[in-house]
């Protein structure tokens, strides 16, 4: 009887460890609309394997750009964010359009999901950052990751933005050094 109880408890815990995950994505500019997206365990295992195959922090960032794009594409299967185009001008007021606040918030949530599932070995997630690099350009927000120091100290290293705002839904995110991004760097700048 005890053996059956232990087996049942083990199966229940295994089921909890492999449950689908819910993430709230926002759109509509300024997170006006918030919707829950469900990521299946199979899909999350797929992106986790991709990330854990990285042999360095630089390779993890390359893979992370692709994974964030994929997570957005899957979210677009469940919400109107599949309509989102890079930047703010190409959306033409469609449902599902996202500004940098929507992207920085949602991307940070996706990064935290990956971090909580042990998919990030070389980076940790930080709070979003804002840049104001010139008076003629409005503020711009982005999600941020930081390299993890390999040493015993556990200190952080270099910071990078993970900026999905620049690209159409489902495309790889743009990852740049935070300092360069703060000065106005981007894929077309």
Q: What is the pLDDT of residues 85-134, one digit of tens each?
A: 998 877 777 899 999 999 999 999 999 999 999 999 999 999 999 998 66
Residue 137, pLDDT score: 62
Residue 87, pLDDT score: 86
Q: Between the CA of residue 75 and those of 36, 50, 143, what are the distances in Å?
A: 9, 19, 17
Estimate to the nearest angstrom the gap between the alpha carbon of 24 and the chain centroid. Answer: 12
Higher pLDDT, 42 or 151: 42
Alpha-carbon span 67 to 40, nearest angstrom: 14
Residue 138, pLDDT score: 74
Mean pLDDT over 124-145 rounds to 86
Q: Between the CA of residue 166 and those of 32, 55, 171, 178, what are the distances in Å?
A: 20, 27, 9, 15
Q: What is the pLDDT of residues 14-72, one digit of tens each?
A: 444 558 999 999 999 999 999 999 999 999 999 999 999 999 999 999 999 999 999 99
Residue 135, pLDDT score: 61
**pLDDT higher than 60, residue 12:** no
Q: Between the CA of residue 93 and those of 32, 34, 89, what are the distances in Å?
A: 14, 17, 9
Residue 19, pLDDT score: 81
Residue 18, pLDDT score: 59
Alpha-carbon span 160 to 64, nearest angstrom: 12
Query: DSSP 3-state assignment of 29?
Result: coil
């Amino acid at each position: 009887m005890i053996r059956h109880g232990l087996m049942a408890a083990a199966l229940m815990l295994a089921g909890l460890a492999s449950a689908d995950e819910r993430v709230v994505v926002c759109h509509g500019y300024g997170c006006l609309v918030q919707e829950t997206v469900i990521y299946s365990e199979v899909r999350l295992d797929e992106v986790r394997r991709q990330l854990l195959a990285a042999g360095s922090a630089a390779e993890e960032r390359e893979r992370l750009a692709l994974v964030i794009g994929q997570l957005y594409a899957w979210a677009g299967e469940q919400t109107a964010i599949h309509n989102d185009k890079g930047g703010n001008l190409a959306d033409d007021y469609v449902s599902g359009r996202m500004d940098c606040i929507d992207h920085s918030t949602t991307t940070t949530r996706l990064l935290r999901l990956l971090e909580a599932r042990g998919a990030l070995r070389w980076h940790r997630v930080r709070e979003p950052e804002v840049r104001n690099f010139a008076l003629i350009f409005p503020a711009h927000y982005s999600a941020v990751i930081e390299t993890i120091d390999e040493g015993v100290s556990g200190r952080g290293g270099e910071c990078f933005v993970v900026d999905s705002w620049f690209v159409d839904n489902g495309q790889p995110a743009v990852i740049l050094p935070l300092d360069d991004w703060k000065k106005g760097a981007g894929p077309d700048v």
